[in-house]
Chains A and B, each alone.
Chain A
Amino acid sequence: MSVLGAVFDLNHPAHVVHWHFIELSVANIVVIALMLAVFAAAIILPFPGAARRRRSES
């Protein structure tokens, strides 16, 4: 924990992004960005063995 604590200083109020009526903490924005990245990767990246299964089917 002390190593993580040295990397991420949490001893301060949360950083917040404010845009009109939308108010999001930076931590939540990071999680949303990660979910979008994982969603895009799941669509783009090939699944192991998928091409072989399609070939055997055709």
Chain B
Amino acid sequence: MSIAPSPKTSWTTRTRESAVDALPPEKLLPDSQPSYVASWIYVFGVASIAALIVIIGSGVILSLKGPAWWHYTGVGHFINSIHLWAVELFFFVMVVHLWGKYWMAAWRGGRTRVWITGAVTFLVAVPTALTGYVSQQNFDAQWISTQAKDGLNSVGVGAFFNVTNFGQMYSYHVLLLPAAVVALVIAHVLLVRRHGVVPPFALGTARDSARVSPAVERTPALSGVDGPSPASSGAPS
């Protein structure tokens, strides 16, 4: 015999209601974006995600076939090259995305967590790539790991993060760090959906710009139409 809890005390009800309050469906999957998003500088975030999808797809194939497969088959070498160049592209577009958001001061309007999750994603992606380089099973991996161990030992983490231990590095590379990167990217995208894409600075003198209300910078980017830019919404410019 079981007693059904009342709807208000059920944890599933509370979780659902708080999730819908934070991200209603029209915010989670909007019809359109504000007109200021129509700029090339706004494409590098989604380009980073596209590269990450290719990285994970090729990485899954490499992990299924084993870490030495790419050394003795042409197909393996091809998949490994896709994995490598997708990583190069990922960092390339992520750095341009970072520069763009830095110069937009993308933490404005209550977007601090958006900025922090993006910055931490970049920091976690670096050791994710490093553990891949030391998992190559070749002289390059040996050279990189023996150089990296000196740097890591100099800051006292070599006992916990041993770059010359292939098994440890491979586990970090195929599971722990990618899971962290993907979780951070999901959190980053959900926060962008919740707060909207940061609007550009209002045109005008520095004194005028400083008077722009924080409410204007919280432009509801996801109103279902091409939302008003700060200039067209009567904001001081």
Interface residues of A (CB under 8 A from B): 31, 34-35, 38-39, 41-43, 45, 47, 49-50, 53-54, 56-58
**Is B38 a contact partner of A50 (Cβ separation < 8 A)?**
yes
User: In the complex, which residue of chain B has the Cβ closest to the Cβ of A31?
Assistant: B92
Provided the pairs A53-B226, A57-B228 are in contact, do residues A41 and B40 lie with their beta carbons within 8 angstroms?
yes
**Is A50 a contact partner of B96 (Cβ separation < 8 A)?**
no
**Is B35 a contact partner of A54 (Cβ separation < 8 A)?**
yes
Interfacial chain B residues near A45, Cβ < 8 Å: 40
Say whether B201 faces chain A, with CB atoms less than 8 Å apart: no
Total count of chain B residues near the partner, CB < 8 A: 16
A34 and B96 alpha carbons, distance in the complex (Å) = 10
Mostly, the B contact residues are: helix
Interfacial chain A residues near B40, Cβ < 8 Å: 41-43, 45, 47
User: In the complex, which residue of chain A has the Cβ closest to the Cβ of B228?
Assistant: A57
Say whether B100 faces chain A, with CB atoms less than 8 Å apart: yes
**Is B226 a contact partner of A38 (Cβ separation < 8 A)?**
no
Interfacial chain A residues near B95, Cβ < 8 Å: 35
**Is A50 a contact partner of B39 (Cβ separation < 8 A)?**
yes
**Is B38 a contact partner of A57 (Cβ separation < 8 A)?**
no
A42 and B130 alpha carbons, distance in the complex (Å) = 29
Say whether B154 faces chain A, with CB atoms less than 8 Å apart: no
